[in-house]
């Protein structure tokens, strides 16, 4: 028999060992839900009493066998015994030996495997003790819940009567909202679904408040309420609000407000099944278990909690087995076009295996940890499921947007014809990147929730803060840069659109196009520099290298620099615009393309010429403000030039009266008089002022009319002719010119000339004469 002193020392040693062991195990335990599932919780004095001295000593022996854990325990004991001495002495510098990468991986895998094995062993030991958790409940204790239901019968009936009456009225509103939502798009339908959910929440709160009020006024003493009635009413509020969230997703009574693509029958079936599970867990944990804890024992309450959890799991397993084929068909149908591999199809056909394995895992957790660990596990599972649902819903909406494309209103497309095409070029790529980021985010959230990774700790670390900050900043830079470029391009499109606002001139079109191109290059360069700077890349060497490269290019491309500088000044002087008819570099044509380096001309023959500005010495533009058609008309010397002048003015009046050309003529014809006395004609000059670019058409039309007027008035327009001079010798005699008149074929070769005396004059033919004929002629 031990003495009291010896017993006290032994008890103190056990307490010390137990405290150190609990602190040590807590320091090496895994965070999150996994720890709650696999290690026993020490939340009450009753659970602490269940730990035997033998178990404590066995765990302490396991600690001593582990080298790393034993070293930590020794350091903890040394720190505890040193006291103030350690504080005065200051921190001890320990020379750390750097570990290789292979050694770090080996230590990590060793620790992970040992921890996993220890947790699995602990979980198995608790699972073997599961029957003991149900031994505290017997058939005699079932009457406790029956007595409680008798006390709560009036409160339950009253509260549910109010709730059913309000729900009946609300269903009509839901159906009206559903009929309105049938013609709306996804976003408006979501807004209507949220509105119906708010009404549903109001119905639950009104029923709960009505039950409280009637209980306070009519059941029991006036103004007082029992603890059981309070437990029930609070359980009713929480359970029904959870059901509201379920109805928000499935919408069993109004298919047009349903957020997931399932049929009406499937929605109603899932609603009934999940409603049963929610009711069993909610009312069981919030009402039945507290009643057993209060009226029987905590052990009986834990046993009831285990039975209720197993009942809910059984309902879920029954639903999984019963509707596995329907769910498989739905998965394959909804994934048609996306699920191409046989592996994914096989996975869709065997989805129930994973669901049943998860339910079996929950049943094992309930049996191994009867102290209410199911609710945290279900909450973590709900978080993961909700994360995947939201992520896949957003991903599906983005995929639909990418496939459909962005459609703008017709009025906006008329004003900005290129905006929709630009949006459909860049935004689908950005949405694809966003889908990938959503997938990564959902995966990280799920791993963090189940405790495999610590995403919160990483985000709060220096690397995490820097990475997330750089990612968000770069995304904002790209978004702002794209918005600025899109706004600038749209403004240029609007200004150059002739159907809206003031019609832009050719110079405005050219300058605005050059402005858009230059601004685009500047935005790309600045965005790249800012993005690289935020990522952490030093852009100073890049800028210096770009400067050196630009200098080298400048020396090696002097002609190009000359082209650009000359082109800039030509544009500033407004010398050339697209659509002008110009003469530049010895070529004349219409300007089809104009850049800061060269001009593209299309001549009258259809040939296209590219002329760099470095070869341009002079620009002749035929399209500035107005133009002139200069008419140099030749008449015979025998004609009266006053008569010819009047004929030219009359021809101009005929031209101006023509509707086709009248609006192209800007003034009266200007008369200059006799321009020249030519070899064959007297040249008369006049000038007609026209719109720019119309001088050639006016000139051709005027020449045609003038020809008709001259012909009508017998004014000769002479053609060029020669006077033959045979010369003379020193004696003043000219050499003989022998002329022979031939009658043969004269009528065929010579036309008749009206107005001659004899009626027909035959043209003589000059032929070579023999010497004898020449003498006879002389």
How high is the pLDDT of residue 406? 77
Who wins on pLDDT, 737 or 139? 737
Structural tokens at position 623: 């399209």
Lowest-confidence segment of 199-203, 454-458, 666-670 by average pLDDT: 454-458
Rounded average pLDDT over 148-165? 83
Q: Whole-number mean pLDDT of the chain?
A: 75
Say if residue 215's pLDDT is above 80.
yes
Residue written as tokens 């909406």? 397
Return the SS3 of 675: strand
Assign domain 462-555 to a CATH class.
Answer: mainly alpha
Tell which residue, 29, 46, 47, has the closest CA to residue 38: 29
Strand partners, 608: 602
CA–CA separation, 349 and 673 (whole Å):
101
DSSP code of residue 671: E
Structural tokens at position 382: 């709900």
Residue 758 — pLDDT band, cuts 50, 70, 90? very low
Rounded average pLDDT over 510-523? 80
Tell which residue, 647, 653, 568, has the closest CA to residue 613: 568
Render 479-541 in DSSP notation, one character per residue: HHHHHHHHHHHHHHHHHT-TTSSSPPPHHHHHHHHHHHHHHHHHHHHHHHHHHHHHHT---HH
CA–CA separation, 567 and 563 (whole Å):
6
Rounded average pLDDT over 322-339? 72
Show the 3-state SS of 416-451: CCCHHHHHHHHHHHHHHHHHHHHHHHHHHHHHHHCC
* Most confident among 294-308, 403-417, 635-649, 738-752 (mean pLDDT): 635-649
How high is the pLDDT of residue 744? 55
For 245-286, the pLDDT digits (tens) are 888 888 887 777 777 777 788 888 888 888 888 888 888 888
Residue 22 — pLDDT band, cuts 50, 70, 90? very low
Strand partners, 686: 631, 671
In the chain, count of helices (H) and strands (E)? Answer: 30, 8
Structural tokens at position 191: 């807004």
CA-based R_g, the chain, Å: 51
Any residues with CB less than 8 A from the CB of 302 and at least 6 apart, and which? 133, 136, 370, 371, 372
CA–CA separation, 458 and 315 (whole Å):
39
Lowest-confidence segment of 93-97, 309-313, 702-706 by average pLDDT: 93-97
C-alpha dihedral sign at 345, 346, 347, 350: positive
Say if residue 756's pLDDT is above 50.
no
Fold of 627-713: Alpha-Beta Plaits (3.30.70)
Who wins on pLDDT, 700 or 216? 700
CATH level 2 (architecture), domain 565-621: Roll (2.30)
Strand partners, 601: 591, 609
CA–CA separation, 315 and 334 (whole Å):
26
Rounded average pLDDT over 280-306? 80
**Four-CA torsion 681, 684, 690, 693, nearest 10 degrees:** 30
Q: Where are the alpha helices (DSSP H) in 93-129?
A: 101-128
Backbone angles phi, psi at 519, to 5 degrees: -65, -35
Q: Where are the alpha helices (DSSP H) in 658-689?
A: 659-662
CA–CA separation, 184 and 178 (whole Å):
10
- Cα dist from 333 to 324, 353, 393, 433, whole Å: 14, 20, 16, 26
How high is the pLDDT of residue 635? 92
Q: Are the CB atoms for 257 and 178 separated by under 8 Å?
A: yes
| Sheet strands side by side (includes 682-690) | 627-635, 682-690, 670-677
Render 374-420 in DSSP notation, one character per residue: HHHHHHHHHHHHHHHHHHHHHHHHHHHHHHH-----HHHHHH-TTHH
How high is the pLDDT of residue 455? 81
Structural tokens at position 293: 């804890």
Lowest-confidence segment of 168-182, 189-203, 334-348, 585-599 by average pLDDT: 334-348
For 96-142, the pLDDT digits (tens) are 556 565 666 777 676 766 666 665 666 565 555 555 555 555 555 56
How high is the pLDDT of residue 630? 94
How high is the pLDDT of residue 644? 92
DSSP code of residue 96: P
Q: Are the CB atoms for 591 and 583 separated by under 8 Å?
A: no
Lowest-confidence segment of 82-86, 230-234, 527-531, 656-660 by average pLDDT: 82-86
DSSP code of residue 288: I
For 312-327, the pLDDT digits (tens) are 888 888 888 888 888 8
Say if residue 626's pLDDT is above 80.
yes
Q: Are the CB atoms for 689 and 683 separated by under 8 Å?
A: no
Q: Are the CB atoms for 252 and 175 separated by under 8 Å?
A: no
For 465-484, the pLDDT digits (tens) are 888 888 888 889 999 999 99
Say if residue 375's pLDDT is above 50.
yes
Lowest-confidence segment of 138-152, 494-508, 682-696, 708-722 by average pLDDT: 138-152
Quote the percentage of the chain above a pLDDT of 70. 70
Q: For residue 685, what is the enclosing H or E element?
A: strand 682-690
Quote the percentage of the chain above a pLDDT of 90. 11
How high is the pLDDT of residue 30? 36
How high is the pLDDT of residue 496? 78
Say if residue 609's pLDDT is above 60.
yes
């Amino acid at each position: 028999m031990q003495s009291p002193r010896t017993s006290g020392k032994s008890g103190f040693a056990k307490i010390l060992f137990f405290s150190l062991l609990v602190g040590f195990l807590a320091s090496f335990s895994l965070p999150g839900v996994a720890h709650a599932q696999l290690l026993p919780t020490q939340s009450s004095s009753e659970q602490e009493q269940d730990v035997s001295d033998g178990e404590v000593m066995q765990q302490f022996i396991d600690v001593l066998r582990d080298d790393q854990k034993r070293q930590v325990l020794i350091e903890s004991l040394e720190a505890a015994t040193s006291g103030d001495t350690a504080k005065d002495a200051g921190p001890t510098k320990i020379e750390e030996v750097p570990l290789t990468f292979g050694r770090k991986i080996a230590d990590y895998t060793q620790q992970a495997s040992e921890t996993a094995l220890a947790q699995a062993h602990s979980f198995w030991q608790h699972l073997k003790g599961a029957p003991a958790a149900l031994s505290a409940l017997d058939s005699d204790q079932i009457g406790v819940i029956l007595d409680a239901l008798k006390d709560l019968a009036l409160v339950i009936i009253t509260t549910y009567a109010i709730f059913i009456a309000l729900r009946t009225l609300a269903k009509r509103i839901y159906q009206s909202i559903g009929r309105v939502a049938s013609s709306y798009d996804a976003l408006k339908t979501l807004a209507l679904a949220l509105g119906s959910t708010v009404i549903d929440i109001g119905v639950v709160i009104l029923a709960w408040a009505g039950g409280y009020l009637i209980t306070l006024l009519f059941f029991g003493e006036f103004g007082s309420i029992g603890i059981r009635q309070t437990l029930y009413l609070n359980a009713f509020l929480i359970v029904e609000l959870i059901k509201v969230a379920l109805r928000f997703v499935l919408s069993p009574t109004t298919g047009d407000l349903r957020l997931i693509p399932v049929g009406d029958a499937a929605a109603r079936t899932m609603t009934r099944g999940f409603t049963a599970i929610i009711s069993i867990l909610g009312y069981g944990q919030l009402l039945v278990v507290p009643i057993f804890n209060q009226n029987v024992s905590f052990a009986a309450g834990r046993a009831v909690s285990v039975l209720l959890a197993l009942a809910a799991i059984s309902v879920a397993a029954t639903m999984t087995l019963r509707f596995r084929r329907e769910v498989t068909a739905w998965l394959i149908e909804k994934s048609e076009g996306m699920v191409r591999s046989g592996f994914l199809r096989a996975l869709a056909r065997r989805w129930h295996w994973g669901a049943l394995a998860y339910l079996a895992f929950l049943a094992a957790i309930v049996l191994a940890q009867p102290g209410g660990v199911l609710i945290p596990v279900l909450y973590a599972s709900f978080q993961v499921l909700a994360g995947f649902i939201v992520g896949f819903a957003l991903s599906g909406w983005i995929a639909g947007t990418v496939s459909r494309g962005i459609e703008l209103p017709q009025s906006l497309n008329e004003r900005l014809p290129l905006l929709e095409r630009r949006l459909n070029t860049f935004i689908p790529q950005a949405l694809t990147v966003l889908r990938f980021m959503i997938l990564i985010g959902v995966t990280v959230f799920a791993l963090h929730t189940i405790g495999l990774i610590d995403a919160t700790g990483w985000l709060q670390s220096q690397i995490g803060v820097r990475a997330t900050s750089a990612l968000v900043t770069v995304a904002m830079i790209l978004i702002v840069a794209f918005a600025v470029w899109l706004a600038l391009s749209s403004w240029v499109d609007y200004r150059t659109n002739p159907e809206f606002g003031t019609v832009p001139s050719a110079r405005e079109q050219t300058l605005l196009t050059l402005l858009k191109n230059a601004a685009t290059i500047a935005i790309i360069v600045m965005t790249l520099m800012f993005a690289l700077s935020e990522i952490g890349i030093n852009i100073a060497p890049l800028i210096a290298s770009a400067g050196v490269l630009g200098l080298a290019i400048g020396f090696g491309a002097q002609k190009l620099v000359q082209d650009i500088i000359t082109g800039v000044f030509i544009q500033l002087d407004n010398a050339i615009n697209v659509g002008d008819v110009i003469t530049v570099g010895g070529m004349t044509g219409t300007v089809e393309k104009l850049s800061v380096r060269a001009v593209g001309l299309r001549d009258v023959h259809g040939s296209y010429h590219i002329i760099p500005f470095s070869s341009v010495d002079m620009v002749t533009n035929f399209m500035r403000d107005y133009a002139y058609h200069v008419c140099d008309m030749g008449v015979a010397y025998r004609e009266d030039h006053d008569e010819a002048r009047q004929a030219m003015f009359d021809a101009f009046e005929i031209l101006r009266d023509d509707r086709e050309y009248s609006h192209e003529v800007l003034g009266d014809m200007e008369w200059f008089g006799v321009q020249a006395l030519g070899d064959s004609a007297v040249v008369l000059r006049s000038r007609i002022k026209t719109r720019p670019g119309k001088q050639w058409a006016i000139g051709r039309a005027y020449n045609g009319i003038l020809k008709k007027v001259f012909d009508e008035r017998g004014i000769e327009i002479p053609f060029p002719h020669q006077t033959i001079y045979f010369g003379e010798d020193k004696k003043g005699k000219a050499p003989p010119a022998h002329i022979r008149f031939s009658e043969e074929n004269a009528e065929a070769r010579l036309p008749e000339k009206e107005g001659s005396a004899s009626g027909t004059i035959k043209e003589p033919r000059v032929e070579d004469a023999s010497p004898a004929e020449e003498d006879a002629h002389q």
